[in-house]
Amino acid sequence: MRILQSFLLHFLTAAAGLLVFNAVILGSPQEEMSVKEAIAALQARIDRQDKQIEALMQTVASQQQVIDRIRRRPGPAAVQTVSTNPAAVAEALPADTAPEPAQPASAGELAVVEALQQQQNTVIDDLTKKVEAATANIAGFRLSGDFRFRADVQARSSNAVAGPLQNIRSRYRVRFNLDKDFEPKFRFHLQLSTAPPATQTTNDQDFGAMAIKHPFSIAEAYLDFHPTSRVSLRGGRMEEAFADNMRLLWDDDVRFNGFQQVANVPLQSKVFKNIEFRAGEYFLSNPNVQILAANSPFVAAGYQPGQKVRDANLFHPGVIVTGDLGMRWSHQAIADIQLYRNQNQIQLSSTAAGFPVVINNTIGFMLSAPPSAVGNATTTPGGAIYTAGRYQIARLAYRIQDRGLKFGQREMPLFFDFQVARNAGTHAQRDAMMASVNLGAVRQLGDVRFLYQYAIKDANSIIAQFTDDDLGTGVTTNIAVHAIRFDLGLSRSLQWQNLLFLQNERRPNNPAQNFFVPLQRGANLTYRYLGQLSFSF
């Protein structure tokens, strides 16, 4: 059995070497080593691994002979543990392999057998990890990714306020990550993902379009410069600086173009051990309009003819303070503020007349429809001007977490998370909040996770185009939602995830206040269920 395992390891090692060889041969001509040097290096590496495997096979064969001989002897009913240091092992082993009369195996000999088997397993496990690391790290590039297969159900019955909603579909998402460290202080990251081009809040692709192939595009691409372990500067396309996958501020698939800065400062306190300063500056549009024409769609967003149309931007500074509360509990507090400039361009991009001049001129090809995520109040029904004069969103968040409750042999992390946000740029319908409780985390087979959340997002509180579109089915603000989640680990890399959302609308239209929302209070309860298999590699 051990020899068969060694043979399989030999085969896997050769296959890994072949994959590395192909990756180098087909790689970029800008690699530092030549093809010839790469082949020589790979051949030397394979030769070294062959010698290691050959030596391992010889060791396993000799040890197996000893184990078989000892096992043929009748053993005692009870075995006492003995010393397994090298001297004791050498003393217990026979001097040669000549046949011996059948004698009862001693406790010491049986302990030696167990020690040898443990040694074999350790060596084999170490070699397996080396082979896996070699296949996952090609020419300095670290490869990873995930695949998600989802069943998505959205349902709402009709009444006098809103029509019916019934959309039952299958969806999938594929993401592929490529990371490389070059020089001691630089890191490059690239993520390719499936994604419908006209939707910025999801990378999921619907089962549909007959047999037409879905697009694969750049979801993330950035360069990270870290001059010290406590400072990081980043530029490119990336996740938002304060993204936390909790569904209040951001959808977990939203990525922005721009810059980020992070700096950590240790504190002389056990309760608060570290303070982290974060900031993000993101470019949302590039109108490139020096003198606005009277018939331009930008006029519908409140811009004056004859003037320059400037970019829409987001600036997001804040701090995170972390610390410990005794031996088991930790906590963190967050304070940040989102400052939008020329925010009406975001709403304009979601209108039929506006997306060609806000989006199409930047991405370089023509979308057939505007991005679908909406929900904020506008001054006219379906208009391009937000009811809120400005979006200046201040947020406070606090989380307290137990390092791991024990249920049998399993650790079940427990945390409570509270977040509140207010748009200081308006005076009505401007608040958002979320309360969450989580028990468990999925890391291997049999692990479970339970999560409950309750969230409110008023119509003027958060930019609807960027916040979560699962919590807010159809409309992402002017909602109150109960969310329930259950995850089960099917293996170390595979999870079965279940999410249920129950959504009601918060406010009706109010023409006297120039307040119009896409879906009004009084619509029937909206249900959404997501059942998905999530595989990571």
**131 and 201 part of one domain:** no
Q: Are residues 55 and 116 in the same domain?
A: yes
**Domain edge (last residue) among 138, 162, 197:** 138
Average pLDDT over residues 282-291: 96
**Is the confidence at residue 331, as pLDDT, over 50?**
yes
Q: How far apart are CA 325 and CA 410, in angstroms?
A: 23
Q: CB neighbours (10 Å) of residue 227?
A: 11
Instruction: Let me know whether 364 and 447 are in one domain.
Output: yes
Residue after which a domain boundary falls, among 138, 168, 185: 138
One domain for residues 184 and 121: no
Q: Could you tell me the two tokens for 24?
A: 């180098």
My answer on whether 420 and 329 are in the same domain is yes
Q: What is the number of domains present in the chain?
A: 2
For residue 9, give every residue at least 6 positions away whose Cβ sits within 8 Å of its Cβ, in sequence order, or none. 53, 56, 124, 127, 128, 131
Q: Are residues 398 and 323 in the same domain?
A: yes
Same domain, 116 and 168: no
pTM for the whole structure: 0.76
Domain of residue 17, residue span: 2-138
Q: What pLDDT is stored for residue 122 in this prediction? A: 76
Residue 410: give its domain's CATH number: 2.40.160.10
Confidence at residue 4, expressed as pLDDT on a 0 to 100 scale = 42
Closest by CA to 43, choosing from 62, 27, 24, 67, is: 24
Q: Are 203 and 173 in contact, with CB atoms under 8 Å apart? A: yes
Q: Of the residues 138, 172, 195, which one is the last residue of a structural domain?
A: 138
Q: Are residues 95 and 209 in the same domain?
A: no
| Same structural domain, 119 and 218 | no
- 481: pLDDT strictly greater than 80: yes
**Could you tell me what percent of the chain has a pLDDT over 90?**
66
pLDDT of residue 506 exceeding 50, the answer is: yes
* Whether residue 113 is found in the same domain as residue 210: no
* Cross-strand partners of 410: 407
Region for residue 302 given its phi and psi (left: phi exceeds 0; alpha: psi -120 to 50; beta: otherwise): left
Residue 201 confidence (pLDDT): 93
Shared-domain flag, residues 175 and 71: no
Q: What share of the chain is helix, strand, coil (3-state, %, to 5)?
A: 20, 40, 40
Question: Are 119 and 172 members of one domain?
Answer: no
How confident is the model over 354-397, as pLDDT tens digits? 999 999 988 888 888 898 889 999 999 999 999 999 999 999 99
